[in-house]
A and B are shown apart, each in its own frame.
Chain A
Amino acid sequence: MGIFIDVHKKLGNFTLNIRFASEAKRIGILGASGCGKSMTLKSIAGIISPDAGTIRIGEQIVFDSGKKINVKPQNRRAGYLFQNYALFPNMTVEQNIAAGLSGSREEKRKRVREMVGKFQLDGLERRLPGELSGGQQQRTALARIMAYKPEIILLDEPFSALDIYLKDNLQREMENMLKDYEGTVILVSHDRDEVYRFCEETVILDHGNVLVSDKTKELFQNPRLKEAAKLTGCKNFFKAKRVDAHTVELTEWGLFLHVRKDVPENCEWIGYRAHDFIPVWGERKKNSIPVCVENTAQLPFEVQYYLTVSGEKKTNDPETVRWFVQREKIAQLKEKGMPDHLQLSEECMMFLA
């Protein structure tokens, strides 16, 4: 079980230097487009060959540039789910599922039947991919992969091209279908929700490098780096200077934050999620920043406020704070008006380098 990746590849101006190991069954790779996520996944599958490095899937070394090992994709037992599913357009559902199978005709037929049943494709066996809905295509693609009994399943942005409604359905479907799969699943995505939902461990990539990797929940709570925090969806970053172990100065406004936990030495930014501010009316409370509203965006279930800070030093950037308020709290704001300060709770602060 598990996977070990250490790959290096140069492609024009882009250099991929990925190294991580994980024993988790569900691994997420999170990163902006063009960060090398897909390339990493393709290296694991053997679709592209790294210039140097090692890749181990389970117990099998599939790539080792030093020992000149480069197992063909045909022999890696890595199931790859493409964003467009890559179903063979000229083959029926049945034929697609049977495409990679070996063995006698009878064995193949049995395996296909089994998969058709498991992935609820009954009645669709003779259809061509063009005649299937998005969900049916996803099920067919997964059935085709599973029929082949893969050691590892690689999901390459499977939901990125879908509208929100379909996305939610297919995500739940995928979760169900992968529930009893014993092998490793790697999900590559630029969508933090997807990764958070699926993966026990997460690796965050940026410009071809691993920024951080950890248990997903812990990583989202403490991303450690500003770039990583951005990818986990953090919207507010305040330039910070560590004063002592329990004090940080927000240098842009000359405000001080006092915390009980230890501030790491390398702290340069305070990250704060837009949903976590506590509104304060009247007198300033501890760890709060004075704000006034610059802009608002009304969304169906929340209101997004873009605020400026009326600090001691004047800032050049007019929209520095983002505060997102969910529907149930909007009534309170209607009643009491806009708060004079926004308070940062210590638990929600991220100390970032």
Chain B
Amino acid sequence: MEAVVEILKELDWSPLWISLKTGTAATVISFFLGIFAAGKVMHTTPGKKAVLDGILTLPMVIPPTAAGFFLLLLFSRRRPLGILLYEQFDIKVVQTWLGCIIAATVIAFPLMYRNARAAFEQIDVNLIYAARTLGMSETKIFWKVVLPSAGPGVASGTILTFARALGEYGATSMLAGNIPGKTGTISQKIAMVIQDGDYLTAGIWVAIVILIAFIVIFLMNLISGKHMKQVKRW
């Protein structure tokens, strides 16, 4: 026990903040992109839908390291896009916090997209038709009818996205690396200390992660629970 207190006293908390910041940023980005993509894919022709759906879901299905490989191909400073970003905008992705966000977003995005789409597709189409015949603009329909009706699905998509982004390891370690205080997330910290045989520190970080997970799930259930009261469900 004393050992735990000793470690906690001297613990470098930076992985926690880096993970939380990365998770939040990736969730916000995925939230909007996912909802946008879900709306678009839902309304395309079946052929296009199959292709788009495949591409958008792919990052969730392939190993994160494989996704990391593609990201490296894209953003490496020896590649066209990486060169362009660096030379024109002075933006570095590889081995930076931006890399963390991009990796986490790419891996977590499909969860948001798929949940949002499933939620949208379950909406009674008559609601949309009714809204149209009542003169509501498509934008208004989306914000006032579609999104609230899809609320619970979108909320659970957001939880899963945040959880996945928070725990991202494979793609992050490849694109952003594990630079303490900069790109060193909790997942990478755990992996690193375990390699050093420091099970105690690893255990502490695992406990922190579990705690965060519980808080997030609790909060989200609270939000979606409030929403659920308004909608009759079976």
Contacts and interface: CB of A to CB of B under 8 A. Distances in A.
Interface in A19-56: 42, 45-47
A100 interface: yes
B145 to A, nearest CB: 6
A34 to B, nearest CB: 18
A179 B144 CA distance: 32
Interface in B139-153: 144-145, 148-149, 151
B127 interface: yes
A102 interface: yes
Nearest to A145: B134
A100 B230 CA distance: 21
Contacts, number: 73
B124 interface: yes
A73 B230 contact: no
Interface stretch (A82-90, A232-240, A242-250, A278-286): A82-90
Contact of B133 (A76, A89, A91, A130): A76
B232 A78 contact: no
B232 A99 contact: no
Interface in A83-132: 84, 86, 88-91, 99-100, 102, 128, 130
B132 A88 contact: no
Instruction: Classify chain A: how many residues form its interface, as a range.
Output: 20 to 34
Contacts of A78: 133
Nearest to A130: B232
A148 interface: yes
Interface string B200-234: 00000000000000000000000000010011100
B8 to A, nearest CB: 45
B122 interface: no
A80 interface: yes
B149 A74 contact: no
Contacts of B145: 88, 90
A158 interface: no
Nearest to A47: B129
Nearest to A84: B126
A79 B132 CA distance: 10
B33 interface: no
A144 B136 CA distance: 12
Contacts of B149: 88-90
A99 B231 CA distance: 18
A79 B133 contact: yes
B131 A100 contact: yes
Interface centre among B127, B137, B149, B151 (most CB of A within 10 A): B127
A78 B130 CA distance: 10
11 contacts: A46-B132, A77-B135, A86-B124, A86-B129, A89-B231, A90-B151, A90-B231, A99-B131, A99-B144, A145-B134, A148-B134
Given A74-B137, A88-B148, A90-B149, 5 more contacts: A75-B135, A78-B133, A79-B133, A86-B130, A100-B136
Interface of A: 42, 45-47, 72-80, 82, 84, 86, 88-91, 99-100, 102, 128, 130, 144-145, 148
